[in-house]
Amino acid sequence: MASVIDTATADTKPGPERASDPAPVSRPMPAEAPAIAQPQSQASQQTRVEPRNGLRWLPRFRWRAVSPLTRRIVAVNVLPLALLAVGFLYLGKFESSLIGQQIESLRTQGEIFAAALSEGAVLDSGDEGEILLPDLARQMMRRLVEPTRPRTRLFDIQGKQIADSRLLRGPGDAVQVMELPPPERKSLLGRVTDQIYDWIVELLPSRHKHPPYRESDAGNAADYGEAMRALRGESGSAVRSDPQTGGLAISVAVPVQRYKVVLGAVMLSSSNGEIEEELRTVRLELLRIFGVTLLVTILLSLYLASTIARPLRRLADAAERARGRGARVEIPDLMGRGDEIGELSRSLRDMTDALWQRMSAIESFAADVAHEIKNPLSSLRSAVETVGRIEDPVKRRRLMAIIQDDVERLDRLISDISDASRLDAELSRQEVSPTHIAAMLQALVEMHETTRAEGAPRLVLDIAERGRELIVPGIESRLSQVFVNVIANAVSFSPPHGEIRISARLDGRAVLVSVEDEGPGIPEDKLTAIFDRFYSERPAGEKFGTHSGRGLSISKQIIEAHRGRIWAENRLDADGTVIGARFLIRLPAAP
């Protein structure tokens, strides 16, 4: 005779009635709700339908510009590069180095000129001592200037200019020599680029502002501070801006001495814009490098942003579509990326699957509840309609008893349904804690033995020597409810004075609990159905309607919420004869 497995505390009619499990996340989707992947929307817009006033649906277009995340990634990568480029364009130390080199070069030339003039253009007169001969000094200076061609001026000891390399003296008036700038050959774009460059350079911070160079009409040393220092026996230099060339006018003055006696001063100056041209060349080269680097940085930033923003947008679009009405939407599978976005994709897919399973379970649960309540209601209505037409007191009392049983059945069903509806919420809200399985089973066995009636089955507990290590993370009250349901089910099918053996042991990284009875066993085709909701098949002789078929279903729901597994099998002897049933519960052990 097949054993009948109880599942809680209210009832249905005998016989299997399959139903979906109300909440377990791992339950597969029913065939009625296949996953349908909707086509992707255009990149520039997405159409979404939303109910308006509950009567009609209107499309809503959402135009997409550049992703804010893309803009942030590009900005973060480009900003340090731009700051570095500005720092390179400043080139303050490089400019100072070029100016220092120019000053040293002019000073060296000036010292050579002064030494040559002091040896070849000085006359030793007995009355006036050593004097500088202007005509001879002018001729010698013109010869000395020719190789390098810096502008060179010679002043006597009174500060009067006696020679200038830009003045050609002849029979008439002196002729001034001016160096003309090279012919302008730049295109309009080149000129515009130069103007933009000059504007940017002027905006650079901490740029040195040199005083402008002004040509002296009198040509005296008093107009040049460096020349006056040279007449006092010290070398001097000055850096000025030249409005004509747009560059710098650098001048160095060196005293002309003979035996430590200052006879005059030589001032060399350079204002050909070479330093500015060198700076311009270096800056433009840096700008070219910066442009190429900037292009590569932007392209790499866009690529990086596309690998982050685009998948996130796809996930957001899919989640938004899943929020609306209609068929199931499949979340894109990005787990192959192996990064956080892949983990987000997996979490969203799991969450969506759980939501659809919950929705399907709710629909199935509602249908099962309606069916289970309909049976006692039909019986109750029939009895109520009949009791008013029966005059026989005996039959009337019998109908009243049926009405009372049906009301009790409805009360038990409603209580079980209410408990089942709260179970998922409680399992998701309550915090798990280390639960000692051995201690829990020991307490349940002692409680049963203390209250056991005469002839009731006896519980035998078999815990391994390492029972103190049988700890699982879970909700103690709910796990206790599972073991109470399974033990009560075994007790109801065990023969009088029978024995129920409960054992617990470590099974790899899990705790395995076994409950074995000596009952008639379970039909092979019902080993899975016994965990279905409202399935109830009771032992012969038990009053109909006392169980609702929810005990084992709730137990399965609790165990799966703890990431465990519960199943049933038959116990067989050596001849293959069924000698009882065995329920196995496997829970992950605490680390």
Q: Which residue has the tokens 């709730």?
A: 554
Calculate mean pLDDT across residues 456-461.
Answer: 90
Per-residue confidence (pLDDT) for residue 358, from 0 to 100: 74
In this structure, the answer to whether residues 261 and 371 fall within a common structural domain is no
Shared domain for 252 and 364, answered yes or no, is no
Residue 487's pLDDT is 92
Per-residue pLDDT at 36:
36
For residue 87, is pLDDT > 90? no
In the predicted structure, residue 17 carries a pLDDT above the cut 70: no
* CATH code, domain carrying 223: 3.30.450.20
The verdict on residue 75 lying in a domain is: no
Q: What mean pLDDT do residues 233-254 have?
A: 85
Final residue belonging to a domain, choices 272, 297, 315? 272
pLDDT at site 8: 38
What pLDDT does 590 receive? 86
Residue 55's pLDDT is: 36
Number of Cβ within 10 Å of residue 217's Cβ equals 7
Query: Has residue 514 got a pLDDT over 90?
Result: yes
pLDDT on residue 321: 78
Contact (Cβ atoms closer than 8 angstroms) between residue 96 and residue 210: no
C-alpha 28: how far from chain center: 31
Q: Which of 244, 272, 300 is the last residue of a domain?
A: 272
Instruction: With cut-offs at 50, 70 and 90, classify the pLDDT of residue 18.
Output: very low
pLDDT at 20: 37
Give residue 21's pLDDT band: very low, low, confident or very high (50, 70, 90): very low
Distance, in Å, from the CA atom of 479 to the CA atom of 444, rounded to the nearest integer, reads 12
Inform me whether the pLDDT recorded for 506 exceeds 80. Answer: yes
Number of domains in the chain: 2
Encode pLDDT of 380-391 as tens digits.
Answer: 888 888 877 888
Average pLDDT, the chain: 76
Q: Are residues 263 and 412 in the same domain?
A: no
Domain stop point among 242, 272, 302: 272
Q: Quick one: tokens of 266? A: 């030589």
What is the three-class DSSP state of 410? helix
Residues 473 and 373 in one domain: yes
Same domain, yes or no: 469 and 384: yes
Torsion of the alpha carbons at 307, 308, 313 and 319, rounded to the nearest 10: 110
Whether 82 shows a pLDDT value over 60: the answer reads yes
Is residue 521 within 8 Å of 2, Cβ to Cβ?
yes
Query: Does residue 565 sit in helix, strand or coil?
Result: strand
Work out the burial of residue 58: count CB atoms within 10 Å of its CB; fewer than 13 is exposed, 13-18 middle, 19 or more buried.
exposed
| 366 and 245 housed in the same domain | no
pLDDT computed for residue 267 by the predictor? 92
- Residue 129: inside a domain: yes
CATH number for the domain spanning 530: value is 3.30.565.10
Cα–Cα distances (Å) from 394 to 390, 398, 519, 543, in that order, read 10, 6, 39, 21
Q: Is residue 522 part of a domain?
A: yes
Q: Is 302 exposed, middle or buried (0-12, 13-18, 19+ CB in 10 A)?
A: middle
Backbone angles phi, psi at 32, to 5 degrees: -75, -15
**Shared domain check, 504 and 367:** yes
Judge whether 47 lies within some domain. no
360 lies in the same domain as 245: no
Taking residues 302-308, report their average pLDDT.
Answer: 83
Q: What is the pLDDT of residue 61?
A: 37
Across 275-292, average pLDDT: 78
- Residue 516 is predicted with a pLDDT of 93
Judge whether 450 lies within some domain.
yes
- Cα–Cα distance, 349 to 69 (Å, whole number): 23
**Other residues' Cβ atoms within 10 Å of the Cβ of residue 269:** 22
Q: Are the CB atoms for 10 and 548 separated by under 8 Å? A: yes
* 525-573 per-position pLDDT tens digit: 888 888 877 666 655 545 544 455 577 888 888 898 888 999 999 988 8
Residue bearing the bigger pLDDT, 128 or 436: 436
287 within a domain of the structure (yes/no): no
Model pLDDT, residue 7: 37
Q: How far is CA 228 from its chain centroid? A: 69
Residues 253 and 249: their CA atoms lie apart, in Å, by: 13
- The three-state secondary structure class of 541 is coil
More confidently predicted of 53 and 180 = 180
Q: Are residues 240 and 386 in the same domain?
A: no
**Is position 230 within any domain?**
yes
**pLDDT greater at residue 375 or residue 476:** 476
Question: Stretch 99-114: mean pLDDT, rounded?
Answer: 89
DSSP character at residue 243: T
More confident residue, 469 or 232: 232
Long-range contact pairs involving 201-207 (C-beta distance under 8 Å, separation at least 24)? 201/89, 201/283, 204/86, 204/89, 204/90, 205/90, 206/90, 206/92, 207/90, 207/92
- What is the residue range of 371's domain? 348-588
Say yes or no: 256 and 361 in one domain. no
Q: What is the mean pLDDT of residues 7-22?
A: 37
Q: What are phi and psi of 543, to 5 degrees?
A: -60, 135
Confidence band, pLDDT 50/70/90 cuts, at residue 326: low
In a domain, 190, yes or no: no
User: What pLDDT, on a 0 to 100 scale, did the predictor assign at position 582?
Assistant: 93
| Tens of pLDDT, residues 167-223 | 765 444 455 555 555 555 566 766 777 777 677 666 665 556 778 888 776 678 888
Whether residues 583 and 445 share a domain: the answer is yes
